[in-house]
């Protein structure tokens, strides 16, 4: 069984395990992480709780001193769509309800259903962003990871390639 969480030593801890601070770090990690991991595993076995990694993607280089995350809930009514646009920052999308059709310039059109996630690179031109259904609503969360101040979405004017 895979553990539900990963614990790492405190950052900045010396790698020399013979030092007292190194042993203190190891002891603290064992003290705090082992009970939580065991408790999570017991809860999963008992059926009371579950978790999964919904999506993993490496982000481009960002200025860590200015990082901010904005989480935006987007709801499309049946048949609704957004006009062509771009985002200045990387975006991770998690579909909550329905199905979302998307296409970034230079990529194939794709449909993502509830429970699925996808990544949007910064400054990609979104040619298609719509509800895939003409009868049911769609809803998703967009996680914008930015290292500078800018509007989260910018309309695209003119022709695209």
Q: Are residues 20 and 84 in the same domain?
A: no
Whether residue 161 is contained in a domain is answered as no
**Helix count and strand count (H, E) for the chain:** 1, 9
- Whether the Cβ atoms of residue 122 and residue 153 lie closer than 8 Å to each other: no
Whether residue 47 is contained in a domain is answered as yes
Radius of gyration for the alpha carbons in the chain, expressed in angstroms and rounded: 21
Quick one: pLDDT band at residue 13, thresholds 50, 70, 90? very low
Whether residue 57 is contained in a domain is answered as no
Domain count, the chain: 2
Whether residue 111 is contained in a domain is answered as yes
78: domain CATH number? Answer: 2.60.120.10
Q: Are residues 95 and 72 in the same domain?
A: yes
Question: CA torsion 42→46→48→50, rounded to 10°?
Answer: 60
Q: Are residues 73 and 15 in the same domain?
A: no
Q: Find which of 32-41, 45-54, 115-124 is predicted with most confidence, using mean pLDDT.
A: 115-124
Query: Which range, of 17-31, 45-59, 78-92, 136-150, averages the lowest pLDDT?
Result: 17-31
Q: Is the pLDDT score of 155 beyond 60?
A: yes
Q: Are residues 140 and 105 in the same domain?
A: yes
Domain range for 34: 1-52
pTM comes to 0.67
User: CB 91: neighbour CB atoms within 10 A?
Assistant: 22
pLDDT at 55: 84
Percent of the residues in the chain that have a pLDDT greater than 70, as a whole number: 68
Q: Is the dihedral of CA 110, 115, 121, 122 positive or negative?
A: positive
């Amino acid at each position: 069984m895979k553990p539900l969480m990963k614990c790492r030593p405190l950052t900045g801890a010396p790698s020399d395990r013979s030092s007292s601070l190194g042993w203190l770090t190891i002891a603290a990690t064992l003290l705090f992480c082992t009970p939580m991991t065991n408790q999570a595993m017991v809860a999963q076995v008992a059926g009371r709780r579950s978790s999964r990694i919904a999506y993993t993607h490496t982000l481009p280089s960002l200025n860590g001193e200015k990082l901010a995350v904005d989480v935006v809930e987007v709801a499309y009514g049946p048949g609704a769509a957004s006009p062509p646009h771009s985002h200045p920052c990387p975006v991770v999308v998690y579909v909550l309800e329905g199905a979302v059709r998307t296409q970034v310039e230079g990529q194939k059109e794709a449909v993502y259903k509830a429970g699925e996630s996808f990544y949007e690179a910064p400054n990609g031109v979104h040619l298609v962003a719509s509800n895939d259904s003409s009868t049911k609503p769609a809803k998703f969360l967009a996680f914008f990871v930015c290292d500078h101040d800018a509007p989260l979405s910018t309309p695209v004017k003119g022709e695209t390639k």
